[in-house]
Amino acid sequence: MFKIAIIGDGYTAAELLRLMSSHDQLEAVMVTSTDNIGININRLYPQLRASYDLVCQATDLDLIKKQCDAVFLALPHGLSVSMVKELTQAGLKCVDLGADFRLKDVTIYEHFYEVRHEAPELLNEAVYGLPELYREKIKMAQIIANPGCFPTSAIVPLAPLLEANLVEAHGIIVDSKSGVSGAGKAMKSTSHFCEVNEGIKAYGVGTHRHAPEIGQELSRAAGQKVGMIFTPHLVPMNRGILTTSYVQMCPGVSASQIREALEDRYRSELFVQILEPGVFPNTKWVYGSNYIHIGIYADDESGQVILVSALDNLCKGASGQAIQNMNLMLGIEEATGLRSLGVHP
C-alpha cells in the first residue's frame, strides 16, 4: 500500500477519498485543512463514514514527508507551489489539482491568476496530466499538473484532429456548461441556490482562466498557435460538464476521416468512449465516473465539425483523473479504483 496525504478538504478532496475507498493500493492516511482542523472528515462528508475515520489536521510538511509516499494537493491556486517544491525535494510524488503548474508560460499564469509564481523553474518539470495524451511522460514525472475540468472536456476530442491536420487551427469555438460544484465548496453569492436555480448564465466571458490552458494544449497539438473562443456557462445541477466544440475541416478532408481519427486514437482508451453516429452524450451518463463520452457530427458539404463531450467535473475533470495520474506515477495499473460506471438515473 502506498501512503497518501491529501492537502485540502474541499469537494475534490472528498471525491479523492470516495474513489480511493475502493482502491487496493492507495491508502489515505492524512487529510489537512485550514478551516476544519480537529474535525473528523466524516462530519464534513457523512458519505465517507463506512471507510474513513480521519481527523483533519494542520498541514505539517515534515510529518507528511515522514509518513507518506505521495501527495494530492487539492488547494486554490497560488497555495501549492512552495509545498510541491519542498515535498518533491524530499522525494515525494505530487499531483496538484489546482492551476499552479498547468501553464508553461509564467507571465500568462501570473496575468490570469493574479499571483506571483514562486517557483517558475518547476513549470517545465511538471507534466500536464492528461493520460490519454501524455501517458509515458506521466509515468516518469514527480510533479503532475492535473488538468482543469473544462480543458479536459475540450482537449480530449479536439487534440487528435489538430495533431492529424484534419481541422483548421483557427476559428475554434468551445462552448461549455458546468454544474455548480465546479465553483468549489467555498460560499459565493453567485452559487447560492436562488442565484443558480431555474436559470443559466455565461460567466468569465473572454476572461476565464481555463482559456489559456485550452489554448496551450491545442496549440501544442496543432504545432502552431490556435485561434479559439471559450465561453463557460453555469447550469443548475450539482455535477457534470457538457462541452460543444465547433471546428472546420481542412480542405480535402472528409467527414468519415474525422470519425475514424477519433475512433482510432481512443479505441484502446478505457475512459474515452466515442459514441455511435447520431448519438450525443448526456452528463447523467457519466455522473460519478471517470469516463468522458464524445459524440461526433461532421458534414461533408459545409465542412463543419461539431464535437459534444460529457464528463463529471469532479471525476474525470478532477479527482478521478488525479488518481489515474497517481496510478501511472506509482506503477499501479492505470484504471485501479476507477472502473465504476456512471450513476443513472
Q: Looking at the structure, do residues 293 and 162 belong to the same domain, yes or no? A: yes
CATH of the domain at 128: 3.40.50.720
State the pLDDT confidence band at 70, using cuts at 50, 70 and 90: very high
Query: Quick one: which of 297, 317, 302 has its CA closest to 130?
Result: 317
Residue-wise pLDDT for 88-134, tens only, equals 999 999 999 999 999 999 999 999 999 999 999 999 999 999 999 99
Q: What does R_g of the chain's alpha carbons equal in angstroms?
A: 20
Reported as a single tens digit per residue, the pLDDT across 28-56 is: 999 999 999 999 999 999 999 999 999 99
Cell numbers at residue 152, please?
Answer: 479536459
187 with 97, same domain: the answer is no
Structural domain tally of the chain? 2
Has residue 341 been placed in a domain? no
Q: Are residues 71 and 53 in the same domain?
A: yes
User: Of 56, 68, 94, 149, which one is the catalytic site residue?
Assistant: 149
181 and 229 housed in the same domain: yes
In this predicted structure, the answer to whether residue 185 has a pLDDT above a threshold of 80 is no
- The span from the CA of 338 to the CA of 340, in Å, is 6
Q: How confident is the model at residue 190 (pLDDT cuts 50, 70, 90)?
A: confident
Is residue 104 within 8 A of residue 154, CB to CB? The reply is no
pLDDT in tens, 119-176: 999 999 999 999 999 999 999 999 999 999 999 999 999 999 999 999 999 999 999 9
Q: Could you tell me the CATH number of the domain that includes residue 234?
A: 3.30.360.10
HSE at residue 59, side-chain half, CA atoms within 13 A, is 21
Residue 334 within a domain: no
User: Could you read off the pLDDT of 298-337 as tens digits, one per residue?
Assistant: 999 999 999 999 999 999 999 999 999 999 999 999 999 9
Decide if 18 is inside a domain. Answer: yes
Task: Let me know whether 6 and 73 are in one domain.
Answer: yes
Same domain, 162 and 298: yes
Tell me: pLDDT of 183 over 90.
Answer: no
Comparing CA positions, the residue from 205, 216, 241, 207 lying closest to residue 317 is 241
Per the domain annotation, does 338 fall within a domain? no
- The percent helix, strand, coil of the chain (3-state, each to 5) is 35, 20, 45
Q: Are residues 30 and 76 in the same domain?
A: yes
Using alpha carbons, list the distances in angstroms from residue 45 to 10, 98, 196.
10, 21, 23
Same domain, yes or no: 141 and 157: no
| Mean pLDDT for the stretch of residues 49-70 | 97
pTM: 0.96
In a domain, 218, yes or no: yes
Instruction: Say if 8 falls within a structural domain.
Output: yes
Residue pLDDT, tens place only, 246-301: 999 999 999 999 999 999 999 999 999 999 999 999 999 999 999 999 999 999 99
Residue 298 and residue 201 share a domain: yes
Burial of 183 (0-12, 13-18, 19+ CB in 10 A): middle
Asked if 141 and 241 sit in the same domain, the reply is no
Same domain, 103 and 240: no
> Are residue 224 and residue 122 in the same domain, yes or no?
no
Is residue 39 situated within a structural domain? yes
Q: Is residue 61 part of a domain?
A: yes
Domain hosting 282: range is 150-313
| Active-site residue flag, 194 | no
